[in-house]
Structure 1
Amino acid sequence: MAVQLDEAAVRATPPAPPDGPPSPAPRRSRGAGRLPWLLLAPALGATVLLLGWPMVKNGMLSFQNLNARQLILHLTEWTGFDNYGDALGSEHFWRVTVRSVLFTTVNVVLIMLAGTLTGLLLARLGRRMRLLLSVGLVLTWAMPIIAATTVYQWLFAQRFGVVNWLLDHLGWHSMADYNWTGSQFSTFFVVTVLIVWQSVPFVALSLYAATTTIPKELYEAAALDGAGAWKAFVSVTYPFIKPFLFATTFLEVIWVFKAFPQIYAIGQGGPDRLTETLPIYAFVEGIGNQHFGMGAAISLLTILILLALMSYYFRLVLRQERDES
C-alpha cells in the first residue's frame, strides 16, 4: 500500500525545471520582416505610377483654367478654387449628384436581389442544370461592355428592335415604333436592365461559392427542428453569406456609381442632359465643352462624394468585424 502511494505521489509531482536560465525566444531576422514589403513593392509601385500620378496631375489640372486657347498657346492659368466653386454653386451639379445617388441605389438593390436569388438557385439545382446556368452566367460576365451595349441598342431600337417587335405582337401596338431613348425614364430603364444583366453573374457566382462552405449538417439539424425554407435561410444560410453580401455590395456600389460606357453609348446623357450622372457630367464639361479644368474638378468631387457615401458602409463593416471578434 505504501509503495502504491509513493508511486502516485511521484506521478503527481510536477517535473523539476531544467537547470540553467531559460532559453531565449527565437528572434525574427530582419530579412523575414522585410520580405512582405519586398513582395508588395511591385504592386505598390505600379499603383503609384498608374493611379497616383494621374490623380496628382488631375488635381493640378482642377486648379487651372484650361481650354483650347490655353492648349494652343501653351499657357498655364491658375485659378485656385474657382472651378470647385463654380461646380458646387451650380444647380445642375447637385441635380446630377442626386440623380447619380438614386440611379446607383436602384441598380445595386436590383443587382443584389437578383444575384442573391440566382446564387441560391445554383445551390439547389442539379449538377447538369447548375453547369448550364453557370456557363451562361460566365459568358454574360465575360462579354465586353461595349459589345453588350451594342446588343442592347439593337434590342431596343425604335424601328427594327426585337423588344418593340415582340411587344407589338403581344398586343401592345402602340409600342411598335416606341423610342426608348426619347425620355428620361425609358432611357434609364434600358441602362438599368443592361447594368443589372451585366452585374448579376458576379454576385450569383460569388454567393454560390459562399454557400458551398456551409456544412450540410446545419441544414439537417434545422430540418429536424421543423424549420422551413425561409427559417433555414435566416438561421443557417444568411449568417454564412453575410460577409460576401457586404463585400459584393461594396464592389457593386463602386462599379455602378462610376458606370460610364453604358450610359454614354445608349443616350449620351440625353435627352436634354436628363440622364447624365457624375461621370458623364465630368466628361461633357471637360471633353465636350473643352473646359478641362472644370472636368477635372468635377471628377475629383465625384471621388469625394463616393467616399462620403461609402463611409457609412465602412462603419458597418468595422462594426461587424468588431462584433465577430
Structure 2
Amino acid sequence: MITVVGTVVLGTLVALLLRALGPRWRSVIIGAMLIAWALPAVTGTYIWRWIFDPDAGIVRQALQAVGLLGPEGYNWFLDRLSFYAIAALNVIHHGYPFVALTIYAGLLTVPEDLYEAAALDGASAWKRFTGITLPILRPVFAVVTILSTIWNFKVFAQIYLMPGGDGSNPEVLNMGVWSYITGINQTNYGLGSAIAVLLTLVLLAITLVYLRLLFREDDLQ
C-alpha cells in the first residue's frame, strides 16, 4: 500500500510539474522519466543496493560525513523496516513514470478556462486540484491506482536480488518470492504451488475490480 500511494502521489506531482513547465524542460523531464521506466528491474535493484551498500554506499558516506553514522556503519538490509524502505524506493522510482505520463495526458484534456475561472474566484492551487482536476480525472486516478497495486503486489526482482531477499532472511519475503523459494529452491512444490495459487487469486480479484472500474467510469463521476 505504501508503494502504491508513493507511486501515485509522486506521479501526480510530476504530472502537475510537467503541465506547468515549458516545452524544453518538459522534454528533459519526460526523457529522464522514460530512462527510469525503461531501466530493467534487475539493474535498478543493483543500483539501489550500491547506494545503500553497508561498506561503501553513498548513503553511508553521506551520513558519516555529517556525523550521523559512526565508523562501524550500519547494514540497512538486516532490519526488516529499512529493507522494505529501500525496496519501496526502488519500486516507486521504477513505477512513477507511467503514472506521471498517464495523468499528464489526462491533464491535457482539462479545459484551461476552468482553472482560469477558479483562479479569478480566488481558489488556491489545492482548491483547484481538489475541485477541478481530481473530479475530472477520477477515472484516470482509479486506473493508475489499481494497475500500480497489481504491479507492486507481485514485485520479484526488487526483493529477491536484495541482500537477504533470496531466502536467507525469511522476514523480508513477499508472496511472490516466498512461492519461488519454497517451490524451486526448497523443492516443496505443494506449498510453493499453494502460495502461487493464492497470489493468483488475489491478483485476479484486484484485476476484476480494475476491469469493473474501467468499464463503469460513469460510476466515478
The answer to whether the 8 Å contact 2:150/2:206 transfers is no
The amino acid of 1:273's aligned partner reads: P
Query: How far is the alpha carbon of 1:286 from its aligned partner?
Result: 0.4
Q: Aligned equivalents of 1:221 and 1:175: distance in 2?
A: 58
1:288 to 185, 200, 207: 185
Deviations 1:86-124 (A, max 9, x none): xxxxxxxxxxxxxxxxxxx11101111111111111111
Say yes or no: does 1:234 pair with 2:130: yes
Q: Secondary structure at the match of 1:112?
A: helix
**Aligned equivalent of 2:51:** 155
Query: How far is the alpha carbon of 1:153 from its aligned partner?
Result: 1.2
Range 291-300 or range 169-178, more displaced: 169-178
**Aligned equivalent of 2:176:** 279
CA RMSD of aligned residues (A): 2.1
The answer to whether the 8 Å contact 2:87/2:159 transfers is yes
Query: How far is the alpha carbon of 1:312 from its aligned partner?
Result: 5.7
The alignment-based identity, stated in percent, is: 36
The answer to whether the 8 Å contact 2:52/2:76 transfers is yes
Deviations 1:248-284 (A, max 9, x none): 1111011001100110001325553001111011101
Query: How far is the alpha carbon of 1:320 from its aligned partner?
Result: 4.6
The amino acid of 2:179's aligned partner reads: A
Q: Cα–Cα, structure 1 residues 244 and 299, in superposed 2: closer, same or farther, change >3 Å?
A: same
Say yes or no: does 1:297 pair with 2:194: yes
**Aligned equivalent of 2:93:** 197
**Aligned equivalent of 1:225:** 121
Query: How far is the alpha carbon of 1:173 from its aligned partner?
Result: 2.5
The answer to whether the 8 Å contact 2:33/2:97 transfers is yes
Q: Aligned equivalents of 2:57 and 2:157: distance in 1?
A: 21
The answer to whether the 8 Å contact 2:103/2:140 transfers is yes
Q: Which has the larger radius of gyration?
A: 1
Q: Aligned equivalents of 2:71 and 2:52: distance in 1?
A: 11
**Aligned equivalent of 1:246:** 142
Say yes or no: does 1:129 pair with 2:25: yes
Q: Aligned equivalents of 1:314 and 1:282: distance in 2?
A: 26
The answer to whether the 8 Å contact 1:138/1:201 transfers is yes
**Aligned equivalent of 1:142:** 38
Q: Aligned equivalents of 1:272 and 1:201: distance in 2?
A: 31
The answer to whether the 8 Å contact 2:139/2:213 transfers is no
